[in-house]
């Protein structure tokens, strides 16, 4: 799925939060990795039992090297810049989300058909087409990106670029201007772009959307279990705070749901 608006280029203007949200409406409710499912064959079974995914905890990087992590944090903070509406991509945990996904089933392409043929120029409707797993594609792509930046920006790394320089770099990647047989810049850009949006809007249990910043921004209620009181009052603005799979921060601060 091509989630960017038709004709949009980062050179037109600094990527704004509103542009990002408009381009990613179709992605709401989608994340790179789903909770592990469990098949129940026959009785007995336990009703009302759930199997939530493990909560991502703060800690060291599980997939990224320190240099890769610094580069990803710089990029996600340009894709979703901090402004008066809320935090940027780094503060919202997008880099942490990507790191944990790459260290898990998504990074290993578990459950995905990985046999050929792989078209050289896949259609947008064909999605990601590569013999590499997402983890392998990131490792190779970030190495190529670091070499490209060093050659073209005076030997510096991505974290050392100014905001304007980083915008120029991302624009060239998006426009397919730096694709070579050795370095597919558009492929790594597409991966980072899509995974950043997933991290900003996924349930906080996966490490992104910290404090439900993405949901608060668009008024998404989250995983609240019951909407009957809302349905009884149509055309009324929903004002309750969002709820994630792990509850709400105020519940935790209060020591329980009360």
The domain ranges of the chain are: 13-23+54-111+129-220, 221-258
Q: What is the pLDDT of residues 54-72, one digit of tens each?
A: 888 878 999 999 999 999 9
86: helix, coil or strand? strand
**What is the rounded end-to-end Cα distance, in angstroms, of the chain?**
42
Q: Are 219 and 192 in contact (CB under 8 A)?
A: no
pLDDT tens per residue across span 146-190: 999 999 999 999 999 999 999 999 999 999 998 988 888 999 999
CA distance 205 to 246: 7
CA triple 67-71-77, angle to 5 deg: 145
Q: Which burial class, exposed, middle or buried, applies to 236 when counting CB atoms under 10 A from its CB (0-12, 13-18, 19+)? A: exposed
CA distance 229 to 234: 10
| pLDDT tens digits, one per residue of 112-153 | 888 888 887 778 787 777 889 999 999 999 999 999 999 999
Contact predicate 192/72, CB 8 Å: yes
Per-residue pLDDT reduced to its tens digit, 15-69: 565 555 545 544 444 444 444 445 545 555 565 566 777 888 878 999 999 999 9
> Sign of the C-alpha dihedral, residues 227, 232, 235, 238?
negative
């Amino acid at each position: 799925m091509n989630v960017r608006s038709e004709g949009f280029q980062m050179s037109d203007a600094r990527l704004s939060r509103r542009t990002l949200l408009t381009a990613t409406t179709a992605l709401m409710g989608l994340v790179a990795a789903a909770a592990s499912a469990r098949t129940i064959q026959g009785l007995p079974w336990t009703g009302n039992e759930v199997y939530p995914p493990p909560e991502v905890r703060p800690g060291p990087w599980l997939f990224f090297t320190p240099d890769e992590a610094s580069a990803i944090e710089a990029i996600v903070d340009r894709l979703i810049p901090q402004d008066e509406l809320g935090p940027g991509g780094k503060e919202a945990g997008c880099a942490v989300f990507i790191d944990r996904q790459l260290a898990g089933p998504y990074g290993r392409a578990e459950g995905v058909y990985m046999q050929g043929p792989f078209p050289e120029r896949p259609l947008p409707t064909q999605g990601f087409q590569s013999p590499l797993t997402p983890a392998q594609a990131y490792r190779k792509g970030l190495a190529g990106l670091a070499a490209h930046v060093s050659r073209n920006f005076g030997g510096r790394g991505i974290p050392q670029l100014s905001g304007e320089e980083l915008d120029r770099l991302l624009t060239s990647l998006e426009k397919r201007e730096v694709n070579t047989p050795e370095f597919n810049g558009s492929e790594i850009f597409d991966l980072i772009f899509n995974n950043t949006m997933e991290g900003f809007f996924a349930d906080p249990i996966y490490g992104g959307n910290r404090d439900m910043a993405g949901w608060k921004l668009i008024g998404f209620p989250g995983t609240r279990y019951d909407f009957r009181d809302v349905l009884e009052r149509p055309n009324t603005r929903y004002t309750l705070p969002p709820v994630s799979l792990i509850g709400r921060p105020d519940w935790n601060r209060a020591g329980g749901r009360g």
